[in-house]
Structure formats: C-alpha cells, structure tokens
Structure 1
C-alpha cells in the first residue's frame, strides 16, 4: 500500500477528466482515501474547494472508491445533481469498467461471476466474503491480455457491493495483484493494488447520450499492463 500526500489545488485541478454544469469526473490517485478518517490525514475531499469553478460550494462525492483504487470518480456540483447521480448509482444505471491485473487468470476469455457476498465479521467492518445467503453480486469480465503469469482484465460490476471485484477475483483463484486483504499481497513485491476505474458512462440527461469518461492507466500499473500486451493507450 502507498500513502499519497494531500493534493494541492493545482494537482487536483490537473486530475479533472470531465466538467459540465452538473458534475465533475476526476482521476483519483491510488493510496488516497476519499474521506477524512477518524485519525485525520490526507484525503481527497479536503482538496474539493479548488473544484468549485465559480459555484458557491465545492462539489461532493456521488459515490466512492476504495483508498487503494485509482481512476474515474464522479462528483456532483450542486445538491440536485448529486441527488440525481446518487439514484443513478443506486439503481445501477451507470456503466463502470475497471482494469485489473490478476495473478494467474481464467482459462476462458470472458465470463460472468455470480457470487453473493456477505460481511466477513463485525470486527473487520467492510471486509467481505462469498456467502450464499449474502447480497447478490454479479461481475462481467473479459480478458484484454496475458503475460508473465498475469492476466489483464476488464471487469464490469453489474452490482455495486463493497470490495466486489477484489473478493470475486480472489474467490475465482486469480486475486488482483497487490491486494493485501483478499489476495497474496506483496508476493509480487507490489505494495499497490492493481485496480483502476478505467471508464464510466453516465446517462445524466434523458435526451442526450451518456457522458463517457476514460481515466489514463496509472503509473503503478503500467509495467504489468505492458507485460500483458498493453500498448500504452
């Protein structure tokens, strides 16, 4: 795991991928929590004031990503927009594609994981486990490349359970590289989770096509993506 220092106004402005009157999409760095923790410390929200772009209040989170996940993060620019976005996320109307690099990998080239998830135990809070009596959890996946005992996957969560992609990958026998909770952690000498919110599609206006936003591959994943055939795009 890496810990990222607080972003300056200039740094967070440099991470804006999309901006319109309703929302922003920013490229979240791995290693920075979205919220301030009980002990304080750097967090993404603390930099949001720099993202007002003339509005009276800073934007707010429309959803969240894990501390160690990078990529597309959606912010609502005012209360009504945030409420609309929240409903779109709640009802799975927003398409999300994540890039992961996993250890080993599936034999097939694409498939669906339908595996309910439940909480591991009360002490572990958000940690999850496969649980036949748990909440429905479905992930579609597709192989984008292979190499060096690794597989590069595009994963699309149909449902939005906590840690869904991480638990599903590990339960299938191909944990995400750098997953120190569900996977083999630093076995590859990699302290950073290889899970990136690559693309998001948001149908924010009824009479317009969805807004599609793509986040560039993060620095920490590029070496292994290249080993799996990624061409740098």
Structure 2
C-alpha cells in the first residue's frame, strides 16, 4: 500500500518507494508492480501521471485524478510553476553552496527513444545545491583509508533527464547509489559497510498552486528506513529538524 501524502477530488500525491516504477516500461519488462496500478487499486479510480520520478528515486509523486487536471498540471510543470526540493547523499565533502549551470546532452534510451534525434544540441540545465552536513567514516573504500560523505539539498531549476545525478557528477560529487553516473566503488562501499544499497536521492518537498482552486500546496515526503539508517550512522540527526524548514526561493523543474 502506498503512503498518501495529499488527496482531494482533483489530485493525489504519494511517497513513491525507491525501486518502484511509476508505470509500465519497455526498459523493465520483467517488473510487475507499478505505482499507477497499485494506486488505482488502492483508491478505486484511475490516476494520470504528470511528471516522472526514476525507478530508484523515492519521494513526492504527484498524479491527477482526471485527464483535464492532468493537462493543467502538465502545463504548470512546463511553465516551471512547481518547485521541487530533493535531498541526496554524495561522495566527498561539498565545501560550499552553489549553482550548477551546465547544459546537458539528451540521454536517449535505445527502445523508448529510438525515433528521437541523436544529434540534438545540449539543453540548458540549472541546479542549485546547499550543504546540510558532512561526515568522515573510518572505513576504507578504494585507495582511501576513510570515506567522506555530504548531505545536500538540491533544487533543479530546469527539468532534464537525470539532471541532478549528472550535475553532481559534473561537480565530482556523484550521488551515492547512482549506477549510471556515479562511483561504483562508493556504491558498493555504502551497501557493504552501512547496509544501504540503492540511490540516495529523495524528492522531499513539492510546492505548487492548486490547478483548480489556486491554493498554494506544500507537500512533504518522509525518508524511508534506508535514509533513517544513514542519518543515524552518520550522526546527522541534527539536520532533520532543519529539513522541516525548507524554503522555496527558486522555481524548479521536474527532473530527478
């Protein structure tokens, strides 16, 4: 059963578990459990997707309860009227807050994007990041005797595919658990030493004007047990209270 974060007659938001697909995909034909079908059965009515969260990413996922509301929400995403805030655990010590303004070439899937233009020019992409905590752990991963990690808050201003993952890798602070763009040794080390497999990227907050009433909605998704384990092991409990006071100074995109 999915955790429902918000629901009214027009839309619904859930806390998507890491490892769960939003809908059927040719890229994961062996999967049998999906958010759309699970939620449809849970609430007894059809739901409509309006944005994406990658399979390994957890957190706030917004869906519409009618095709008309889906159209309105999709338009809000296109016009950057929704703000999303993510949290991630990355490799190394991020020493200061900043902004990544680095254009990204479109990543194409062999099947899903086989008719797309492979020569499309790089698209503008902007992400803001803020350092919340750092920790050095006494475990040897790779050629170093200790392992360093940072907890960061991420706000994408644009919505390119895998934008946050690719931007953090561009900064040489890849997100832990990112098998496509990250550090495989660090991924294995996190799983082995801290019992935390998978991508450490969570869509924590979303803020948007209600597409029908205009009321400003602010939706928060709590961390799962993997995240809670890391927070305890890395002694980051003091950051948890700060996460409840997230501000929304920029208009963010929809990618993860």
TM-score (norm 1): 0.83
8 Å CA contact 1:137–1:160 kept in 2: the answer is yes
Residue of structure 2 in register with 1:103 after alignment: 91
Give the unaligned 5+ runs of structure 1: 1-10, 127-132
Give the unaligned 5+ runs of structure 2: 114-120, 137-147, 192-196, 242-256
Q: How many residues align?
A: 213
Q: Larger deviation: 32-41 or 77-86?
A: 32-41
Structure 1 position 66, deviation (Å): 0.2
Matched, 1:83 2:90: no
Distance in 2, matches of 1:75 and 1:123, equals 27
Matched, 1:150 2:145: no
Structure 1 position 158, deviation (Å): 0.3
Distance in 1, matches of 2:19 and 2:108, equals 24
CA deviations 1:159-187 (Å, max 9, x no partner) are 01110000000110000011111001323
Distance in 2, matches of 1:87 and 1:229, equals 38
Residue of structure 2 in register with 1:187 after alignment: 188
Q: 1:205 to 1:170 in 2, by over 3 A?
A: same
CA deviations 1:54-106 (Å, max 9, x no partner) are xxx41111111000000000000111111110111111110000010101132
Q: CA RMSD in A?
A: 2.4
Could you tell me which of 11, 16, 19 is aligned with 1:31?
A: 19
8 Å CA contact 1:99–1:155 kept in 2: the answer is yes
- Spell out the pairing of 1:106-121 with structure 2 (5 A cutoff): 106-108=94-96, 110-119=97-106
Residue of structure 2 in register with 1:48 after alignment: 39
8 Å CA contact 2:106–2:161 kept in 1: the answer is no
Structure 1 position 145, deviation (Å): 1.2
Could you tell me which of 211, 234, 237 is aligned with 1:230?
A: 237
Could you tell me which of 55, 80, 99 is aligned with 1:67?
A: 55
TM-score (norm 2): 0.76
Q: Which has the higher contact order (CA 8 A, sep 6+)?
A: 2
Residue of structure 2 in register with 1:130 after alignment: none
Distance in 1, matches of 2:49 and 2:200, equals 23
